[in-house]
């Protein structure tokens, strides 16, 4: 077993995997039902914020270089990441404004305007596309980290003799 604190990339991988898993569950509203959809949507805030904090240095430094010496791929990555961030905010805000179950359970009543429901649906569809593009751009990192996280460590002779305990 490894310590997440020893390798920031493994911690980033864990948060990203959690984000993806939660997003897939939230996207399956017909399978989970609305109550679980809303609570998981709220729960998404935690790994989303952690993801932003983990990448804060990049987030704060890239705008300074955006109009300077930056290659086209990096510039495109910035634009796509900004679109992804705005789509996530759009989904979260419109989701809060259309909550039928989670927020009322917490004592917050919101108007359930058809406009915001349509906005939430459209934003969610756009967000899923942006997540796919984001993952495609970072696919080599995903593959490399998946191999590292799930790699089997070779067994030493001492472990083999002692039955694996050491």
- What average pLDDT does the structure give for the chain? 86
Q: Is residue 1 over pLDDT 60?
A: no
- Tell me: the pLDDT tens digits for 29-52? 999 999 999 999 999 999 999 999
d(CA 24, CA 96): 19
* pLDDT number for residue 165: 54
| 59, part of any domain | yes
| 55, part of any domain | yes
pLDDT above 70 as % of the chain: 93
| Whether pTM exceeds 0.85 | no
Who has greater pLDDT, 2 or 69?
69
| 121, part of any domain | yes
| 2, part of any domain | no
| 143, part of any domain | yes
Region of poorest pLDDT, from 5-9, 44-48, 79-83, 143-147: 5-9
* pLDDT number for residue 7: 78
With beta carbons less than 8 A apart as the criterion, state whether 91 and 120 touch. Answer: yes
Is the CA virtual torsion 58, 74, 44, 139 positive or negative? negative
Mean of pLDDT values over 117-130: 95
* pLDDT number for residue 150: 86
- Tell me: the pLDDT tens digits for 60-96? 887 777 777 778 888 888 889 899 999 999 999 999 9
Question: What is the total count of domains within the chain?
Answer: 1
Q: Which residues contact 53 (CB under 8 A, 6 or more apart)?
A: none
Q: Look up the domain containing 32 and give its range.
A: 7-161
pLDDT above 90 as % of the chain: 49
With beta carbons less than 8 A apart as the criterion, state whether 97 and 113 touch. Answer: yes
């Amino acid at each position: 077993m490894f310590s997440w604190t020893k390798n920031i990339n493994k911690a980033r991988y864990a948060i990203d995997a959690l984000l993806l898993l939660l997003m897939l569950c939230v996207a399956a509203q017909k399978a989970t039902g609305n109550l679980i959809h809303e609570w998981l949507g709220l729960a998404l805030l935690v790994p989303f914020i952690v993801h932003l904090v983990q990448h804060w240095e990049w987030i704060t430094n890239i705008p300074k270089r955006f109009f300077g010496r930056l290659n086209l791929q990096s510039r495109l990555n910035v634009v796509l990441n900004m679109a992804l961030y705005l789509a996530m905010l759009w989904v979260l805000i419109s989701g809060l404004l259309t909550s039928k179950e989670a927020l009322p359970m917490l004592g917050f009543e919101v108007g359930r305007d058809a406009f915001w429901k349509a906005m939430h649906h459209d934003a969610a569809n756009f967000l899923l596309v942006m997540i796919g593009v984001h993952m495609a751009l970072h696919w080599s990192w995903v593959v490399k980290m998946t191999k590292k996280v799930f790699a089997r460590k070779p067994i030493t002779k001492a472990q083999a003799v002692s039955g694996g305990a050491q």
